[in-house]
Amino acid sequence: MIKLFIMLLLISITTFSFAKDLARPIDKPEETFQQWLISFKKKALAKGISTKTINSAFNGVSPNEEILALDSRQAEFFSTFWQYFNRAVSEIRIKKGQELYKKQLPQLTKITKKYGIPAEILVAFLGLETNYGSYTGNRPVIESLATLAYDKRRREFFSAELLSALKLIDKGYVNLAQMKGSWAGAIGQCQFMPSNYLRYAIDADDDGKKDLWNSLPDILNSMGNFLKKLGWQKNQDWAVEVTLPRKFDFSLADGRTEHSLKEWQKLGVGLAASKKIAQNMQQIPAKLVLPSNYQGPAFLVYKNFFIIKKWNNSTKYALAVGYLADRIVGLPPLSKAQPKGDKAISRKQIVELQQLLINKGYKLGDADGVAGSQTRQALRQYQKQHYMPADGYPSYKMLQIIRYNKSS
């Protein structure tokens, strides 16, 4: 069987067999936008927003189909871990981060003292969110949020954010002309959603404004405040890169299994040369994360890794923030690099992979094109039963193997 596995890895296949169209139809509500807007304005008024703010904010606003297209397109394509990572933590971004870190160190040190967040973590978030403030988004936030609040898919969430955006204008924190951001309504150099702006933004330079566009003291202190409230563990690292032996039980990277370093070491985990583990982290339980397949990098992650995920619920994003922070303070690159032939898997192909697993009797819920924990768990079981490293990584190669292994 192992021979078969290796042989299949070597076969290059070009057939495409799956054609189900997955583009999300725009979920148009029963009422027109104008009808929806009338009732939303009433709600806003009842929440204490002034008529003046409401009228000026919605003046000429209509739903933007482009926003809905961006919202539904987001999950259609998946880049591989390496494709994402090399873009997110490029050499130029590391260099720019180091410059900002050096220049702002006195201010950053004060913020670390106050909120417990390491300076390099704050700088790394800025790097990931807006390339250190160089691109904060140009879309009118009220239009984007109104479009997404009118759409049925995530109506509740975006209605609340739209209301928060109106509050920001009403309180005079931000003026309407300034209200530009990402297509999803995130604003400022740190890309806060309006509700987070309301809750966590700080006027650190005492000019009477909470300015997340232009005031670096306001921006960095607000981020520190936010991360502290999210539960950042002071004086704890976020993760450490590790090495795994060839015959490791890769299914231990299941998002649940948790051990201290010593226990992981008993299972064959070693420390990669890229980073030393701090003394105080050795007793703290850690989970094993394999963001790519079993040949890719491996990390033992601690609580702060999950705090980064609370900011943006993506493993790749959280690893990129932490790794960029490490590089900013001079740590060396990861011990692994992007392999040749690293190929992205499409959403359609994930559906196909899920359907093949379901047909073989594995339980993973619906074939929805999202490789969540159930899909990964089912894939690990499949891999174990076929004597492959059970990394649960839904790669294009894995799909090829399952396609050509239809009988077993």
Q: How far is the CB of 132 from Ca ion (least distance, A)?
A: 19
Which residue lies nearer to Ca ion by CB, 109 or 214?
214
Q: Which is nearer to Ca ion, 205 or 249 (CB)?
A: 205
Cβ neighbours of 48 (radius 10 Å): 9
Q: Binding Ca ion by CB under 5 A: which of 24, 110, 154, 209? A: 209
Query: What's the burial of 267, exposed, middle or buried (CB within 10 Å: 0-12/13-18/19+)?
Result: middle
**Given the rule CB under 5 A, which of 9-17, 179-187, 218-226, 313-321 is the region that contacts Ca ion?**
218-226
Q: Does 249 bind Ca ion (CB under 5 A)?
A: no
Binding segment (CB under 5 A) for Ca ion, from list 173-181, 196-204, 224-232, 242-250: 196-204
Task: Report d(CA 388, CA 233) in Å as an integer.
Answer: 37
107 binding Ca ion? (CB under 5 A): no
Least distance (Å) from Ca ion to the CB of residue 202? Answer: 8
- Compute the least distance from the CB of residue 216 to Ca ion, in Å: 10
178 binds Ca ion per the rule CB under 5 A: no
Query: What is the smallest separation between the CB atom of 217 and Ca ion, expressed in angstroms?
Result: 7
b/e burial code for range 345-373 (CB count within 10 A of at least 16 → b) = bbbbbbbbbbbbbbebebebeebebebee
Nearer to Ca ion among residue 207 and residue 263 (C-beta): 207
Q: Least distance in Å: CB of 114 to Ca ion?
A: 16
Minimum CB distance to Ca ion, residue 375 (Å)? 46
Segment near Ca ion (CB under 5 A), from 42-50, 212-220, 241-249, 381-389? Answer: 212-220
Q: Considering the complex, state which of residue 27 and residue 205 has its C-beta at the smaller distance from Ca ion.
A: 205
Q: Which stretch binds Ca ion (CB under 5 A): 46-54, 146-154, 199-207, 369-377?
A: 199-207
CB of 178 to Ca ion, least distance (A): 14
Contact flag: residue 258 with Ca ion (CB under 5 A): no
The alpha carbon of residue 170 and the mean position of all alpha carbons in its chain are separated, in whole angstroms, by 31
207 binds Ca ion (CB under 5 A): yes
3-state secondary structure the chain: CHHHHHHHHHCCCCCCCCCCCCCCCCCCCCCCHHHHHHHHHHHHHHCCCCHHHHHHHCCCCCCCHHHHHHHHHCCCECCCHHHHHHHHCCHHHHHHHHHHHHHCHHHHHHHHHHHCCCHHHHHHHHHHHHCCCCCCCCEEHHHHHHHHHHCCCCHHHHHHHHHHHHHHHHCCCCCHHHCEECCCCCECCCCECHHHHHHHCCCCCCCCCCCCCCCHHHHHHHHHHHHHHHCCCCCCCCEEEEECCCCCCHHHCCCCCEECHHHHHHCCCEECCCCCCCHHHCCCCEEEECCCCCCCCEEEECHHHHHHHHHCCCHHHHHHHHHHHHHHCCCCCCCCCCCCCCCCCEHHHHHHHHHHHHHCCCCCCCCCCCCCHHHHHHHHHHHHHCCCCCCCCCCHHHHHHHHCCCCC
Q: Does 254 bind Ca ion (CB under 5 A)?
A: no
Structure tokens at 284: 């703290």
Contact by Cβ (8 Å): 126, 133: yes
Q: Is 189 in the site for Ca ion (CB under 5 A)?
A: no
Question: Residue with CB nearest Ca ion?
Answer: 203
Q: Does 218 bind Ca ion (CB under 5 A)?
A: yes
Q: Which stretch binds Ca ion (CB under 5 A): 217-225, 269-277, 314-322, 334-342?
A: 217-225
Which residue number, 192 or 382, has a Cβ lying nearer to Ca ion? 192
Cα(183)–Cα(70) distance, rounded to whole angstroms? Answer: 8
State the nearest-atom distance from the C-beta of 190 to Ca ion, in Å.
14
Q: Least separation, in Å, of the C-beta of 200 and Ca ion? A: 14
Give yes or no for residue 41 binding Ca ion (CB under 5 A). no
CB 204 → Ca ion: shortest distance, Å? 6
Query: Would you say 129 or 218 has its CB closer to Ca ion?
Result: 218
The CB-of-208 to Ca ion minimum distance in angstroms stands at 7
Task: Please give the size of the binding site for Ca ion, defined by CB under 5 A.
Answer: 7
Site string for Ca ion, 340-369 (x = CB under 5 A): ------------------------------
| 27 lies in the site for Ca ion, by CB under 5 A | no
Q: Which residues bind Ca ion (CB under 5 A)?
A: 203, 205, 207, 209, 211, 215, 218
